[in-house]
Amino acid sequence: MLNSKLNGEVYFPSAEVLKNATIKDWEQLNKKALDNYEEFWSELASELHWFKKWDRVIEDSEKPFYKWFTGGKTNIVYNCLDVHVNTHRRNKLALIWEGENGDSKTFSYYALHRETCKFANVLKSMGVQKGDRVTIYMGRVPEIVIAMLACARIGAVHSVVYGGFSVESLAERIEDSNSKVLIVADGAYQRGKIVQLKQIADEALQRCGTVEHVLVVKRTGQEINMESGRDMWYHELMNLPIAIQNNTLEEVDSEYPLFILYTSGTTGKPKAILHTHGGYMVGIYATLKYVFDIHDDDRYWCAADPGWITGHSYIVYGPLLNGATSFMYEGAPNFPYPNRWWQIIEKYGINILYTAPTAIRGLMRFGEAWVNRHNLSSLRLLGTVGEPINPEAWKWYYNVVGKGKCPIMDTWWQTETGMFMITPMPCVPLKPGSGSRPFPGIVMDVVDEKGNSVQANEEGYLVIKTPWPAMIRTVWKDSERYISQYWSRYPGMYLTGDSARKDEDGYFWIIGRVDDVIKVSGYRLGTAEIESALVSHNTVAEAAAIGLPHEVKGNAIYAYVILRTGVEKSPALIDELRQHVSHEVGPIAKPEHIEFVDALPKTRSGKIMRRVLKAKALGQDPGNLSTLEE
Ligand code: PRX
């Protein structure tokens, strides 16, 4: 256990927290994992069900294409549902859901299992086979969970597209994944309005030709277009005799694809990150168990969206693997009033809240009176993810929401890592703004240009030096990109794309992305996606997007646009372009600000120098300009 010699501002776990914590000695667990890494993971894997036990824990003969638990046969859904249905958890609530408009639904493990089996049968009857990709495009509703689990149950590979994305983003992802089936909702409630998901999907389907069946979940009940022969209602299909046939489940190899999830990278199109059944299952089961220390009677709320990795790992799969009760809320945190979240915590007796700094900063602005109206004494643990949390927001979260008694798990990880990588546990002393140290057994470092470790407190590139079970297996259909993006800069080290520093106590402090990824409200966007949306407008010749600091969102998008010859600059055109990006990529990508320029700073090879634009916007020194062409 770390002692009081830690540097800086430190929050030590209280006697009460230590008493409740399953892991009381982090150092000991870390030592155990470091001494025998394979055995550490093997023991955790043994807590789950395997139809056939693995032969090897880590297979590294084709590095960096690591494989985990090879020779093993399992299915993550069997461990999420079937296992619990046969225990005392059969009638325990697996999922509690509240809609933004006050609707609510609950599913016991028995009910979630039954609905999943039914939908798996429906998918099969649509011709979905093992290995087929299925795109899912919905808001935060229970059917998204059922759809994901049903796919995985029959060995189909789900590709969830975040419901906040729009036409082009959806079309591109459907096309790239070659999905024949799209599962969509008629709409989603967001801040009292309806997001027209089906309408967006219809428009996207005009741009890509792979989809044969569209299964539509009725959420809002509004009038929508249903294309005959292509579109079918979910609730009607679920009532057909075919749905209640049997409990089909595919026993798959440990390394069998579970899902792909598109994420933004350095250049070009979003890439599909591939995760597989076995290793991913073990990684998220173990991290959630240790970090959020789930107890059987806990109610756990991860307020992310299932459409991003946080939702995949820690709304859907992780809690179910742990037999937990997971809560899901559809809407905005401040709708209809800024106390909505606090009201929910009180109403359902939530014990663990896991959210993003941007949400905390957003709610903080409304003042603590909104929080103090509610009894939040059920809370035991808090969590944060997605971007660095500023100490001011950390302290507000700790003191106002957690009343000074709930440790904050600041979890650093990525779509690619699948699971928490840098994270405390309840027994670990906390420093506001740092996620503390890597999960036991995982070796991470901060290195310079040459790949050498930097001194304590010096900034450098954040890298991972050990394989981990939930790691990305490859970029779907593009293994070259997997190697070049993550493994080619420093052989043997996984490049995260983040800059960080490590202090004298070994605590990591994340600074931010060093590539062309912008984190807006914790959402990951690529400059390339925003720029290509801008140039798809008939008035735009060239565009460059950058992220600039924003008080609530962390970063806001600024775009620089060169108009085509003869096009008049006007405030109306700025509005139109912002709207266009929102329509093509999604409202989260809408630039905060657009400026018309006559030229963009570029290298001689034609690459836009975004760092120069950023420095100029911030009134800073642009640094070395020797490669600047104009
Ligand atoms: O920059 C880091 C930031 O989010 C990036 C990963 O984004 P994404 O793949 O969308 O996954 C987000 C949710 C896991 C990282 O490269 N990031 C994530 N968590 C933190 C963070 N930055 C600082 N602190 C965190 N806790």
Q: Is 301 helix (H, G, I), strand (E, B) or coil?
A: strand
Is 358 touching ligand 1 by the criterion CB < 6 Å?
A: no
Our CA angle for 14, 18, 20, nearest 5°, is: 120
Which residue, by CA, sits nearest to atom 13 of ligand 1?
Answer: 386
Is 497 touching ligand 1 by the criterion CB < 6 Å?
A: yes
Q: What's the token pair of residue 258?
A: 């579970």
What is d(CA 106, CA 99) in angstroms, rounded to the nearest whole number? 11
For residue 31, give Cα distances in angstroms to 45, 474, 630: 19, 30, 54
- CA dihedral sign of residues 211, 213, 219, 221: positive
3-class secondary structure per residue, 444-461: EEEECCCCCECCCCCCEE
Which residue, by CA, sits nearest to atom 21 of ligand 1?
Answer: 387
What is d(CA 580, CA 271) in angstroms, rounded to the nearest whole number? 23
Is 435 touching ligand 1 by the criterion CB < 6 Å?
A: yes
Mutate to test the pocket of ligand 1, among 510, 515, 525, 588 (most ligand atoms within 8 A of CB): 510
Is 179 touching ligand 1 by the criterion CB < 6 Å?
A: no
What is d(CA 75, CA 252) in angstroms, rounded to the nearest whole number? 6
What is d(CA 65, CA 189) in angstroms, rounded to the nearest whole number? 41
What is d(CA 419, CA 284) in angstroms, rounded to the nearest whole number? 5
The phi, psi pair for 94, rounded to 5°, reads -90, -40
What is d(CA 444, CA 282) in angstroms, rounded to the nearest whole number? 20
What is d(CA 550, CA 597) in angstroms, rounded to the nearest whole number? 23
What is d(CA 196, CA 124) in angstroms, rounded to the nearest whole number? 28
Is 498 touching ligand 1 by the criterion CB < 6 Å?
A: yes
Which residue, by CA, sits nearest to atom 6 of ligand 1?
Answer: 414
What is d(CA 538, CA 544) in angstroms, rounded to the nearest whole number? 16
Our CA angle for 245, 251, 256, nearest 5°, is: 125
Give the distance (Å) from ligand 1 centre to CA of residue 411. Answer: 8
What is d(CA 493, CA 498) in angstroms, rounded to the nearest whole number? 13
Q: Which residues of the chain have pLDDT under 70?
A: 1-4, 629-630
Give the distance (Å) from ligand 1 centre to CA of residue 356. Answer: 10
What is the model's pLDDT at position 4?
A: 62
What is the model's pLDDT at position 243?
A: 93
What is the model's pLDDT at position 455?
A: 98
Is 496 touching ligand 1 by the criterion CB < 6 Å?
A: yes
Give the distance (Å) from ligand 1 centre to CA of residue 591. Answer: 21
Which residue, by CA, sits nearest to atom 7 of ligand 1?
Answer: 414
Residue whose structure tokens are 């055995």:
39
Burial state string for 569-588 with b = 16 or more CB within 10 A and e = fewer than 16:
eeeebbeebbebbbbbbbeb
Q: What's the token pair of residue 123?
A: 């998918």
For residue 263, give Cα distances in angstroms to 277, 459, 470, 625: 19, 25, 16, 31
What does DSSP assign to residue 602?
B
Which residue, by CA, sits nearest to atom 18 of ligand 1?
Answer: 386
- Summarised one tens digit per residue, pLDDT across range 36-56 is 999 999 999 999 999 999 999
Give the distance (Å) from ligand 1 centre to CA of residue 56. Answer: 30
- CA terminus-to-terminus distance, the chain: 56
Q: What's the token pair of residue 135?
A: 């795109």
Give the number of the atom of ligand 1 that is nearest the alpha carbon of residue 416: 9
Give the distance (Å) from ligand 1 centre to CA of residue 556. Answer: 16
Give the number of the atom of ligand 1 that is nearest the alpha carbon of residue 411: 26
Asked if residue 574 lies in contact with residue 594, where contact means CB atoms within 8 angstroms, the answer is yes
H-run or E-run covering 153: helix 142-153
**Residue percentage of the chain with pLDDT more than 90:** 93
* Burial class, 203, CB count within 10 angstroms (exposed 0-12 / middle 13-18 / buried 19+): middle
Asked if residue 377 lies in contact with residue 404, where contact means CB atoms within 8 angstroms, the answer is no
3-class secondary structure per residue, 171-213: HHHHHHHCCCEEEEECCEEECCEEECHHHHHHHHHHHCCCCCE
Is 387 touching ligand 1 by the criterion CB < 6 Å?
A: yes
- Maximal C-alpha separation, the chain: 72
Give the distance (Å) from ligand 1 centre to CA of residue 512. Answer: 9
The phi, psi pair for 362, rounded to 5°, reads -60, -45
**In 218-266, beta strands by DSSP E:** 231-233, 252-253, 257-263
